[in-house]
Amino acid sequence: MSKKRIVLDTNVLGWALRDKINPSDRAKKLKAEKYLAQLNREDTTIILPTIVLFELLSVYSDSPQDKTDKINFLDVLSEWCQVTDFDDLAADTAANMFNATNTGTSGYDPAEREKSKRKTDTMILAQASCAEADELITNDLGFRKLADALTKLNICSVMVKDIPEDAQMELDELIDQ
Amino acid sequence: MDGYALKFKSISPHEIPASRLGDLIKQYEIAVKKEYLRHSGKSIQDSDLVALKSIEANCTVLRFIAAPALCATAALVISIPKPNSYIPSNYPSDCRRFYEQIYDIGSNYNTAIESFQYSQTNDSVIKILSEISMEDTAQMPSTTLKSKKTMYGEVIQVGGKQPKVRIKLDNGDIVSCIGDKDIVCKAAGFLYNSVRFSGIAKTHFSLGSPYIQSFVLKDIQSFTALPAADLINRLKPHISKQLDRLDDQELYFQELREGNE
């Protein structure tokens, strides 16, 4: 049986990758970290769409230290992570998805989400779809609703879900939420 | 009326490879099954749609017998739209792929095509569902686009008379690559191992889902994906400081997607 292929949205990766914990982010960060540990146990493959990579890379400044960090970050990715291109196939898929959410005839109300967000959503979703990802994990409810509409239209086969709750989560962590 | 047929008017059954007709039969079954599931929420059995190839004077006819519950869907799918019917927006992907295959055969063999409904008890009683002329098939747009691609998979076969490499992707699809002898010899060193490979792909675009028609291999490297948490642990030292500078990470990424000043 082939490994489950998972795409993580930018915020999920961001929470797992940062050290600083803001009070408002604590539960989300814990949830993201626990989920990633669970993925390790389940033997999954992480797929990184280049659109998500762009958003992550935007946090680097022009300082020499940041430039070095960025190169090292990319070096780790190139060796250990499947990065999926935004190529002609993804562009075609994204355009079909975007148009399906843009006309109002598909049952999805375009007023539900700004055009620029829908553009990014569909670009990421198209990359996930072309990479044959099984799931895309995002904390963004609007993104999940858009993907649901595309799934109903048979245009999207990737399951877009929130970070799964961990049944083992400690009581004090739940209280903090 | 419970039979449906597709007639390529001027192809002798001996001219067209059986595999091509087999693919077309399979795609019709897929399209009907998906459409039926989409409309009714129910799955169908393989025996609900039976394909028969009939040999007629100088033309090739594929006949299908559909179970009563499937008739409406079977008739709908086999009604081939004209090229100006906004096919990409009005038909689901599996139907588009079916129509693409029909138009491809029509164009390659220079034949008109007809689909019809017929009575199982009397073959001569027919109702024409669609007629596609040779002019129609010439109008169907298709193209190939060349672009650089990077993909991941396992090398499963190398060599032969030509320098070729076959790579199995994680989804089970197989990409057949050509390349110069040096790169193919390098690929041989990765036989049965996971690789990242890149090169120039020719992608075919028409009515159905685009697909890679050919791939010229330019680079191949050994590759092992790390499990999620291990990957995060390796990445973290090189980005955590930068992310920690964000007061509100969620807001930062949200604004990046909103595109507002």
CA distance B167 to B154: 5
Q: Do B149 and A87 touch (CB under 8 A)?
A: yes
> Quick one: CA torsion of B242, A64, B225, B254, rounded to 10 degrees?
30
Who contacts B13 (Cβ-Cβ below 8 Å, separation ≥6)? B53, B55, B60
Determine the pLDDT at residue B104: 86
Determine the pLDDT at residue A77: 96
Determine the pLDDT at residue B200: 97
- Nearest CB partner across the interface for B258, out of A6, A37, A116: A116
How does residue B249 score in pLDDT terms, banded at 50, 70 and 90? very high
pLDDT reading at A83 higher than 80: yes
Q: Do A120 and B257 touch (CB under 8 A)?
A: yes
Whether the Cβ atoms of residue B162 and residue A123 lie closer than 8 Å to each other: no
How does residue A71 score in pLDDT terms, banded at 50, 70 and 90? very high
The whole-number average pLDDT for the span A41-63 is 95
pLDDT reading at B209 higher than 90: no
How near does any CA of chain A get to the CA of B57, in Å? 40
Whose tokens are 């779809």? That residue is: A129
Query: β-strand B3-8 against B113-118: which pairing, if any?
Result: antiparallel
Instruction: Count Cβ atoms below 10 Å from residue B136 Cβ, excluding itself.
Output: 20
The whole-number average pLDDT for the span B204-225 is 88
Determine the pLDDT at residue A96: 87
How does residue A171 score in pLDDT terms, banded at 50, 70 and 90? very low
- Nearest CB partner across the interface for B244, out of A20, A36, A55: A20
How near does any CA of chain A get to the CA of B185, in Å? 22
pLDDT reading at B93 higher than 80: no
The whole-number average pLDDT for the span A148-167 is 85
Determine the pLDDT at residue A53: 98
Determine the pLDDT at residue B86: 66
- Nearest CB partner across the interface for A40, out of B203, B227, B241: B227
The whole-number average pLDDT for the span B182-193 is 96
A-chain residue closest to B198, CA distance: A85
- Nearest CB partner across the interface for A69, out of B34, B203, B242: B242
Whose tokens are 């191992």? That residue is: B193
pLDDT reading at B202 higher than 90: yes
Q: Do A99 and B92 touch (CB under 8 A)?
A: no
Q: Helices (H), strands (E): how many in chain B? A: 9, 10
Q: Which residues of A54-73 are buried (b: 16+ CB within 10 A; e: fewer)?
A: ebbeebbeeeeebeebbeeb
pLDDT reading at A172 higher than 70: no
- What are the beta bridge partners of residue B214? B202
CA distance B30 to B74: 11
Which residues of chain B lie closer than 8 angstroms to A56, CB-CB? 239
Q: Do B256 and A55 touch (CB under 8 A)?
A: yes
CB proximity under 8 Å: A 10-49 to B: 10-11, 13-20, 22, 24-25, 28, 33, 36-37, 39-40, 43-46
Map residue A2 onto helix, strand or coil: coil
pLDDT reading at B214 higher than 70: yes
> Exposed, middle or buried: residue A51 (CB in 10 Å: 0-12, 13-18, 19+)?
buried
Q: What is the pLDDT of residues A97-150, one digit of tens each?
A: 998 888 776 678 888 889 999 999 999 999 999 998 999 999 999 999 999 999
The highest-confidence range among A47-56, B18-27, B28-37, by mean pLDDT, is A47-56
Determine the pLDDT at residue B12: 80
Determine the pLDDT at residue B260: 59
Determine the pLDDT at residue B55: 64
The residue among A72, A89, A121 with the most chain B CBs within 10 A of its CB, best to mutate, is A89
How near does any CA of chain B get to the CA of A172, in Å? 23
CA distance A51 to A70: 16
The whole-number average pLDDT for the span B109-137 is 89
Question: Quick check: A62 contacting B, CB < 8 Å?
Answer: no
Instruction: Count Cβ atoms below 10 Å from residue B80 Cβ, excluding itself.
Output: 23
Q: B158, B171, B162: which is closest to B220 by C-alpha?
A: B158
How does residue B170 score in pLDDT terms, banded at 50, 70 and 90? confident
